[in-house]
Chain A
Amino acid sequence: MIEFRSVTKQFPDGTVAVEGFDLVIPPRKTTVLVGSSGCGKTTLLRMINRMIDPTSGSILIDGEDTGGLAPVKLRRRIGYVMQNSGLLPHRKVVDNVATVPVLNGVPKKEARAHALELLDTVGLDRSLADKYPRQLSGGQQQRVGVARGLAADPNILLMDEPFGAVDPIVRAELQQETIRLQEGLGKTVVFVTHDIDEAFLLGHQVVILQKGGHIAQVGTPAEILARPADDFVATFIGADKGKRVLRIQNVDGRDVVVDENGTPTGVLQS
């Protein structure tokens, strides 16, 4: 469990990225922080592994205040996946995946063997192990990034817009892969995105953020869809324009569901 307790972050230039932020992130679930740019979502994510330290307030992991932990050690037990993969270009794929275990003192040979298994886990062929990151496609690089994030078997996986730079088809694949991995491995995933559809797809808990890290609404996707907290949320999820509204049409005695454009999408079963 990760807890934010009245966390405020003001950067040296005076911008207040986050103000009085409170949130409980449940264990073994995916929590998505979603909002437009400048809402402080990445700042919040990076405060969890102390890439950024809060100006005031505290962040607790399983009840322990991270402010009292050594940042480098803390980061080695939290997985981190970023946009554009952030792979080390001078290291082969297998060594990139083995990065954190090697930093933790695991013998290189052992770490590499485990890295190969992780390539299987994220659906990559082992023949890619000896290639350098730039020889891989964007989607493959992102998978390597996920494998690297999982390598030290962390309880927590932070994902900072990991699929923002890949094409829609690959993104859809990677999203399904993320759901599968989270369910299979039971990690606590904190995912940052500006894409509300991605948030609803991946999140058990979705946190919609406004400027300055103010929470507009927290809930399951269903709860948010059922009852948007205010106009901001309604606009953000597209409910104000009739998006997200499905209607039922009776055709030949069966209930056909049509979307906001009147396009049939499926048949309702009772």
Chain B
Amino acid sequence: MKWLASNYGLVWELMQAHIALCIPPILIGFLISIPIGWVANRYKLSRGVILLVLGLLYTIPSLPLFIFMPLVLGTPQLSSLNVVVALTIYAVALMVRSAADGLSSVDKDILQAASAMGYSGWQRFWRVELPLSGPVLLAGLRVVSASTVSLATIGSVIGVTSLGYLFINGLQRSIPGEVITGIVATLLIAVVFDLVLVLIGRLLLPWIRQDRTSARAARRRAVLIAEGAR
């Protein structure tokens, strides 16, 4: 605590840098994953191939990937773009499966009904398939968010500012307070991101909540009936 009290400014600065580093990969990864997930879901063969390749992608160790990035992108060694692109790759690797699963989770009868109503293919995707795959997409995005927030710390090893600095510096100088602060701050960001995503989900997927409240009401009713029977 004493360490934190005298370094509050630094921690706050690192937290801001960390957040700025994490948001683009999560958003861009999400946007890229939807069309890839759609293609994966569209054909049996493409699903197997795409999911396998992306699964392998996620197994690449992060440090080598961060170091490798400037060679591919032609960016300076210390550019935060290296970390952003690498984190986006991981986000896509994780998210495509959720996107494919989410799209395939939509009830085929409902899609048939939508077509019978006169939705064109394009309208049906945007107004029916995508919203209905929302719950699965959200679940996937929460995993991506947590993964990205934690992976971003490694960026500090190659000199891109993030909360990882506190781990490295704290270890080198044997300041446990600094390491613990780094861990707690990272966790805090992950939790806040998660809460924000859940909140967005509540706003965008209101029918899910209605579902749950009605389920709760049904349960309460069942309990009351059971009590009445006694």
Contact = CB atoms under 8 A, between A and B. Distances in A.
Given A103-B123, A132-B207, A134-B214, A82 B113 contact: yes
A76 interface: yes
Interface stretch (B4-12, B114-122, B183-191): B114-122
A181 to B, nearest CB: 19
Nearest to A87: B113
A99 interface: yes
Contact of A89 (B112, B123, B132): B132
A148 B117 contact: yes
B112 A86 contact: yes
Contacts of B227: none
A88 B128 contact: yes
B113 A76 contact: no
Interface in B101-138: 109-110, 112-120, 123, 128, 131-132, 134
A223 B120 CA distance: 42
B214 A88 contact: no
Contacts of B115: 51, 75
Contacts of A8: none
A100 B207 CA distance: 21
Given A90-B128, A90-B132, 13 more contacts: A72-B120, A76-B118, A80-B116, A82-B109, A88-B113, A89-B132, A99-B117, A100-B117, A103-B117, A134-B207, A134-B210, A134-B214, A135-B214
Contacts of A88: 110, 113-114, 128, 132
The winner among A73, A89, A135 for most chain B CB atoms within 10 A is A89
A225 B131 CA distance: 50
A76 B120 CA distance: 10
Contacts of B120: 72
Contact of B116 (A73, A75, A90): A75
Contact of B109 (A46, A84, A103, A132): A84
Residue from A72, A90, A100 having most chain B Cβ neighbours under 10 A: A90
Interface residues of B, number: 21
5 contacts: A76-B117, A80-B113, A87-B113, A90-B134, A91-B207
Contact of A86 (B109, B207, B210): B109
A49 interface: yes
Given A82-B109, A90-B131, A75 B118 contact: yes
Contact of A82 (B116, B134, B210): B116
Interface in A100-135: 100, 103-104, 131-132, 134-135
Contacts of A91: 207
Nearest to A131: B210
Interface in B200-222: 205, 207, 210-211, 214
A134 B134 CA distance: 17
A114 to B, nearest CB: 16
Contact of A73 (B118, B123, B132): B118
Contacts of A51: 112, 115-116
Contact of A135 (B114, B119, B128, B210): B210
Interface in A43-95: 46, 49, 51, 72-73, 75-76, 80, 82, 84, 86-91
A86 B113 contact: yes
Contacts of B117: 75-76, 80, 99-100, 103, 148
Q: Which A-B residue pairs are the 8 nearest by beta carbons?
A: A86-B113, A76-B118, A75-B118, A80-B116, A132-B207, A90-B207, A132-B210, A135-B214
B155 to A, nearest CB: 38
A91 B214 CA distance: 16
Contacts of B131: 90
A72 B121 CA distance: 9
Nearest to A49: B116
Contacts of A84: 109
Nearest to B111: A86
Nearest to A77: B118
Given A90-B132, A90-B205, A135-B210, A100 B112 contact: no
Contacts of B110: 86-89
Given A73-B118, A80-B117, A84-B109, A134 B211 contact: yes
A148 B128 CA distance: 16
B134 to A, nearest CB: 8
A71 to B, nearest CB: 9
